[in-house]
Amino acid sequence: MIWLLFLALAALALAPLGLALLRPPRPQGRREADLALYQAQLAELARDHAAGRLDEAAFTAARTEVQRRLLAAPAEPAPPTNPRSAALLAAGLFLIPAGGIALYLWHGAPDVPAAPYVERAAAAARDDALLAQLRSRIESVPPQSEGARQGWLLLGNAERGRGRMDAAAEAFSRALAIRFDAGVAAELAELQIGRGEMEAAATIITEAMRQDARDPRLRFLSGLLEARAGRPQNARATWQALLADTPPEAPWRPFLERELQNLP
């Protein structure tokens, strides 16, 4: 199957070259340019006549003159086809894929795993080891200390960066349990909304807005929660109020406007 795939890709890549060999040569030269010019002039005369800018006599005389010049245009023979160039192109249709396959058989190694996958696997293993060390260090400090809180925050960001949202939400929850912070609450609420945990997200957002009711991210998440819960009117009211308080240069303003437009 892999060789059939290689042959299909080679045929696709060389298709333009084959079409160039099969297509008859187009005549090039002064006559072709003259024909295009005279045809454009005839079309322009027809438009002027239809618009009433030329009467019948003037139109007929002008058309006759253009047709006379068209017939009098010198004919030029098409440039001769170089047999040698055509032969080289035809040989290339065979030699290029044959050379590519020969080179692959000489240096290729189809059974060796892809290097990027190996590198990604090694990087993932290193990340796992680092996160395991981080967890061990968190467990070695007092559980309610600021050091533990910072460790959970670092772990939550790392897990979210790796796409492990469950582990990230757990780490942010541990950090909030040590000391509640509106910014961290917004991080956790966003993860909870993405996982469909609407009630938990609503509880976190309500508590966080008691601490900082003007925080734009919390206000946006509040509207997002309403939108995901099937209450677009509530979401629109929340986001419109946020938009009114958002400076024109705020980087999140275009995103907010787009979300408003997407509401049903």
Q: Check if the beta carbon of residue 88 is closer than 8 Å to that of residue 71.
A: no
Non-local (6+) Cβ contacts of 178 within 8 A are 143, 144, 145, 146, 148, 149, 152
- Among 39, 58, 74, the domain boundary falls at 74
Amino acid at 84: R
The whole-number pLDDT of residue 179 equals 94
Condensed to tens digits (0 to 9), the pLDDT of residues 132-176 reads 888 888 989 999 999 999 999 999 998 988 888 999 999 999 999
Tell me, yes or no, whether 88 lies in a domain: no
Tell me, yes or no, whether 11 lies in a domain: no
pTM comes to 0.54
Condensed to tens digits (0 to 9), the pLDDT of residues 91-144 reads 655 566 666 666 666 666 555 555 566 777 777 788 888 888 888 889 899 999
Work out how many domains the chain is built from and give that number.
Answer: 2
Condensed to tens digits (0 to 9), the pLDDT of residues 189-221 reads 999 998 899 999 999 999 999 998 999 999 999
The whole-number pLDDT of residue 251 equals 87
User: Other CB atoms closer than 10 Å to residue 203's CB: what's the count?
Assistant: 14
Tell me, yes or no, whether 160 lies in a domain: no
Q: Kindly state the average pLDDT of the residues 223-243.
A: 94
Condensed to tens digits (0 to 9), the pLDDT of residues 61-81 reads 777 776 666 666 555 554 555
Rounded Cα–Cα distance for residues 208 and 202 (Å) = 10
Condensed to tens digits (0 to 9), the pLDDT of residues 2-47 reads 555 655 666 666 666 556 555 555 545 555 556 666 677 777 878 7
Rounded Cα–Cα distance for residues 209 and 218 (Å) = 7
- Among 74, 109, 139, the domain boundary falls at 74
Tell me, yes or no, whether 175 lies in a domain: no
Q: What is the DSSP letter of 172?
A: H
The whole-number pLDDT of residue 21 equals 55
Tell me, yes or no, whether 14 lies in a domain: no
The whole-number pLDDT of residue 135 equals 87
Tell me, yes or no, whether 223 lies in a domain: yes
Is the pLDDT reported for residue 59 higher than 60? yes
Tell me, yes or no, whether 205 lies in a domain: yes
Tell me, yes or no, whether 42 lies in a domain: yes
Q: Check if the beta carbon of residue 221 is closer than 8 Å to that of residue 183.
A: no
Task: Determine the Cα angle at 224 with ends 218 and 227, to 5°.
Answer: 150
- Among 54, 74, 94, the domain boundary falls at 74
Domain encompassing residue 212 = 199-264
Mean pLDDT value across the chain: 78
